[in-house]
Structure 1
């Protein structure tokens, strides 16, 4: 999955501007499924039929990443911007970004005062993003426009993915793991289902605009009459020394089986099946209760007459930053448990709330 992840995280696709990701994913999964379509919002919906009848199962991950959008070009060529998704103002200063213009990609940097001026500033002040700017090297407004910048230009962190430490750690640092890592899990699962016998139908839904309110999932879920769903997303670990961390979820300890977050209380039957499979197959896992996050699973669960939904979480450090960190052990465990869930489905499998 490393190569999949490298290609996915290199793509430029902030909320509402996921076109390069939608196209790449559509083309990548087309040979692996029986049917694939891209809906009017940009969601990629790929369906693979099993070898015998059974339930319709949805697995979903979101393609968008947090980013920015240009809202003004100053006379001196610096660019003002707004956020797309949840960015922390404390992380913005001096970070490299990438603009996707009609003329091509541009490298920029979120500007800051020189360290030499810090003595004249309030060191405790965190400037609101609306007071900040992106520098693309333009000499003036006309030059910025000539380079391709305009109001509405989408921006992401500058792409990067490499080992954290080196290959001995099994950990990677880069941008966009939230949730291109989940997309990689779905694509790899489809690969591994090619020669497998399974019941029912698997529909992989790669959604847009998750980071701005689960919008793509709301639209996509209405298009699929599903019997059960599993969302794949990253989640923030709590294993670092800050005083707010409670050590309930750790990097490298396996996939997170969601109990609840602010968008979803996992369906009991789905959650228990995931736990049972993880224990029986010795797949490293941990239980996740984290009200500070939401996933497409929340939107999927409310579709149609209600869909029994669970979530598998890929533990991550430094979420929504240009230096997100994941462990390949967790990524592999997530894929293995998702595949085990699919292969465990039978022709008569149901996920009822009460017996």
Structure 2
């Protein structure tokens, strides 16, 4: 879990993914992969198995939801703009890091104590535009002396921890450092077995602000099949229980529908069949909201078979989140078994209508 801890504690909001990219480059290089980048900063390690084709892409995304400093007030407080989707109710009194060129500063998203709230304020959900970050400065001049500027990234704070059950992982940015971890571990495990294809493992940039790296990356790596490795929403808290809802610990999550894509059906069926053949538990997800990098991957060139494989996660798009280590391990195992089947003929059959 050390590598996953490094990934989650690295700071990488959209457009500022360098720390995470460096960690990925180090691990992919250790595995002997040829490193590739697109022009936006997405990173991939390419390594052939027993054949150069087909080319199979397994990719998480480097970025996490966060903020950018948008204004420095005369009193030394920082206004901020969201990078990615946030619900403002999860923000007040949370600690953040402002990352400057010289060093980082801890701040807190300011809130009034209940003693002085009016009745109207108590019932109001504050919009982000009215919030501010307090870094302990006395003036805008002091903030500038410290090197904090408009445009600096702001990153949530939450240390990595494995909970007492030994399975539940708590950390920030599991959306989607979990996917980065899966991509590297799939490549690592495929070193130990033959696979009739070339693996391209890595992660895109700027997913949280519009799947931007996923639009440019395929032009660099030219995949024939793509798997986006991402989290889905766990709905297993009090009041959320129900048949078919994703839960922690019940297996990797296969997305059958989201707002950005319907997966290639033969590929979907192959993944399900492989899970059942290998006694790997799995869950399915159908969501009308949200999307993943597969929403862009599958539109590359003439269109390529794509699917989302990931894990259920609690509390995403907040300062902290939770996933199951067991789900993570089973997701990696499932991808390895599927990739071992992806030879030229199998991939051709995924789009048999082309001829």
Fold in common (TM above 0.5) = yes
Superposition RMSD in Å: 1.7
* Aligned match of 1:108: 107
Residue 313 of structure 1 and its aligned partner are, at CA, apart by: 2.1
With 174-183 and 196-205 compared, the bigger mean Cα shift is at 196-205
Residue 214 of structure 2 aligns with which residue? 217
Contact 1:54 1:345 in 2 (8 A): no
Counterparts in 2 of 1:53 and 1:140: CA distance versus 1, 3 Å: closer
1:312-345 Cα deviation digits (max 9, x unpaired): 1210011111121111111111111111111222
SS in 2 for 1:205: strand
Question: 1:184 maps to what in 2?
Answer: 181
1:293 to 290, 294, 310: 290
- CA positional deviation for 1:205: 3.4
Q: Hey, what's the Cα distance between the residues in 1 that align with 2:202 and 2:10?
A: 18
Q: Is the 8 A contact 2:158 2:320 kept in 1?
A: no
The separation in 2 between residues aligned to 1:306 and 1:319, in whole angstroms, is 30
Q: Does 1:195 align with 2:188?
A: no
Distance 2:32 2:295 in 1: 26
Give the equivalent residue in structure 2 for 1:35: 34
* Secondary structure at the counterpart of residue 304 of structure 2: coil
For structure 1, which segment, 112-121 or 248-257, has the greater mean C-alpha deviation from structure 2 after superposition?
Answer: 112-121
Deviations 1:122-153, CA, capped at 9 Å, x for gaps: 21101110100001111211111122211000
> Aligned residue for 1:89?
88
Q: For 1:60, what is the secondary structure of its paired residue?
A: strand
Determine if contact 1:15/1:212 at 8 Å carries over to the other structure: yes
Equivalent residues of 2:69, 2:150 under 8 A apart: yes
> In the superposition, relative to structure 1, how do residues 169 and 31 fare at CA in structure 2: closer, same or farther (>3 Å)?
closer
- 1:316-327 residue pairs with structure 2 within 5 A? 316-327=313-324
Asked whether 1:207 is paired with 2:204, we answer: yes
Mapped pair 1:13 → 2:12 = yes
Q: In 2 relative to 1, CA 111–246 (structure 1 residues): closer, same or farther, beyond 3 Å?
A: farther
Report the CA distance shift for 1:133/1:247 in structure 2 as closer, same or farther (over 3 A). farther
TM-score, length of structure 1 as denominator length:
0.95
Write the deviation string for residues 182-219 of structure 1: whole angstroms up to 9, x where unpaired: 10011111111223211111111310000011000100
2: CA distance, partners of 1:148 / 1:137: 14
Question: In the aligned structure 2, how far is the partner of 1:187 from the partner of 1:159?
Answer: 23
The answer for the alignment partner of 1:150 in structure 2 is 149
Q: What are the equivalent positions in structure 2 for 1:1-355 lying under 5 Å apart?
A: 2-119=1-118, 121-164=120-163, 166=164, 168-242=165-239, 248-350=245-347, 351-354=349-352
Q: Is the 8 A contact 1:101 1:149 kept in 2?
A: yes
Q: Any gaps of 5 or more consecutive residues in structure 2?
A: none
In the superposition, the TM-score normalised over structure 2's length comes to 0.95
SS where residue 59 of structure 1 aligns? strand
Contact 2:51 2:197 in 1 (8 A): yes
SS in 2 for 1:142: helix
* Distance change >3 Å, CA 248–CA 181, structure 1 → 2: same
Please state whether the residue corresponding to 1:156 is helix, strand or coil.
Answer: strand
Range that drifts further, 337-346 or 40-49:
337-346
How much has 1:121 moved relative to structure 2?
4.8
Count of aligned positions: 352
Query: How far apart are the structure 2 equivalents of 1:231 and 1:212?
Result: 16
Q: Any gaps of 5 or more consecutive residues in structure 1? A: none
Equivalent-residue separation in structure 2 for 1:293 and 1:104 (angstroms): 34
